[in-house]
Structure 1
Amino acid sequence: MTQSLEANKKVVREFYDLAFNQKKPEEAVAKYMGPYYRQHNPMAPDGPDAFIAFVREFTKAFPSLRVDFKREIAEGDRVALHSHMVRKPDDRGLAVVDIFRLENGKVVEHWDVIQEVPEKSANNNTMF
């Protein structure tokens, strides 16, 4: 079980890195996405082609985009990826939690929660 959880985390990490950091969403889809893709982000439609178009537009709008993975948590067929997304060099960025569901080692479903990193915090803890 631990081996498959680690394999699922690796698939998600490589899928996200290839799509967003390396700006190769077509390759990410071809290598890591299953036969369908169900999207729960209300700003993005379902399907592999929609994912590719979304990533293309997002990385075009933010050519300096960088996603720094902070932690991965796997349970069953789901992987949660907590990351710091920085859209441009002077940006404090976003704290992002993406949750993926896999079937047969391929990404087939996605949820996300996104929060701006504030200038000031009510505590001394970081978001990461």
Structure 2
Amino acid sequence: MTTEESNKQIVSTAYQRIFGDLDVTAVDEYMTENFIQHNPTIADGPKGVKALLQMLISQGVPKQKISFKHIAAEGDIVFLHSRYEMAGKEWRFIDIYRIENNKLAEHWDAMMPMPDGRANNNPMF
């Protein structure tokens, strides 16, 4: 297995466990202690992701199977294009992770809810 294939497997498994299964214990298993978060609404480190998970759980976000449309890797960077249900709406996410020593070390993202109306018929996923 290439480094890129291994990194894609690590990220997709971690993402499912953390955000699909809402497994707080997976945060320590898959993230570095000095995890760098570029989403301005989430604190750095595993504590920031754990706080996000606790918020999602408290809001009744269900455990779910994450659908990945695209997973790509270049060296230690992995890109995910996924679908997720949150607050009664479908969302689309682009997540970018940097891997360090087989763990998630850094994260960037962009997200949007499915719009009620569309200007075209092209699928978002």
Relative to the length of structure 2, the TM-score reads: 0.89
| Corresponding position of 2:31 | 33
Q: Unaligned 5+ residue runs, structure 1? A: none
| Corresponding position of 2:104 | 107
> What amino acid maps onto 2:46 in structure 1?
P
Instruction: Map 1:67-106; keep pairs closer than 5 Å.
Output: 67-88=66-87, 91=89, 93-106=90-103
Alpha-carbon distance between aligned partners in 1 of 2:60 and 2:99, rounded to the nearest angstrom: 28
> What amino acid maps onto 2:9 in structure 1?
K
Q: Secondary structure at the match of 1:12?
A: helix
> What amino acid maps onto 2:19 in structure 1?
F
Alpha-carbon distance between aligned partners in 2 of 1:70 and 1:60, rounded to the nearest angstrom: 28
| Corresponding position of 1:127 | 124
**Shift of the alpha carbon at 1:119?**
2.1
Tell whether the 8 Å contact from 1:20 to 1:59 is kept in structure 2 after alignment: no
**Shift of the alpha carbon at 1:126?**
0.8
| Corresponding position of 2:41 | 43
| Corresponding position of 1:24 | 23
> What amino acid maps onto 1:37 in structure 2?
F
Alpha-carbon distance between aligned partners in 2 of 1:114 and 1:63, rounded to the nearest angstrom: 16
Alpha-carbon distance between aligned partners in 1 of 2:24 and 2:115, rounded to the nearest angstrom: 29
Alpha-carbon distance between aligned partners in 1 of 2:100 and 2:108, rounded to the nearest angstrom: 15
| Corresponding position of 1:62 | 60
Tell whether the 8 Å contact from 2:76 to 2:99 is kept in structure 1 after alignment: yes
Relative to the length of structure 1, the TM-score reads: 0.87
Structure 1 runs (4+) deviating above 3 angstroms are none
> What amino acid maps onto 1:127 in structure 2?
M
Change (3 A) 1:65 1:114: farther
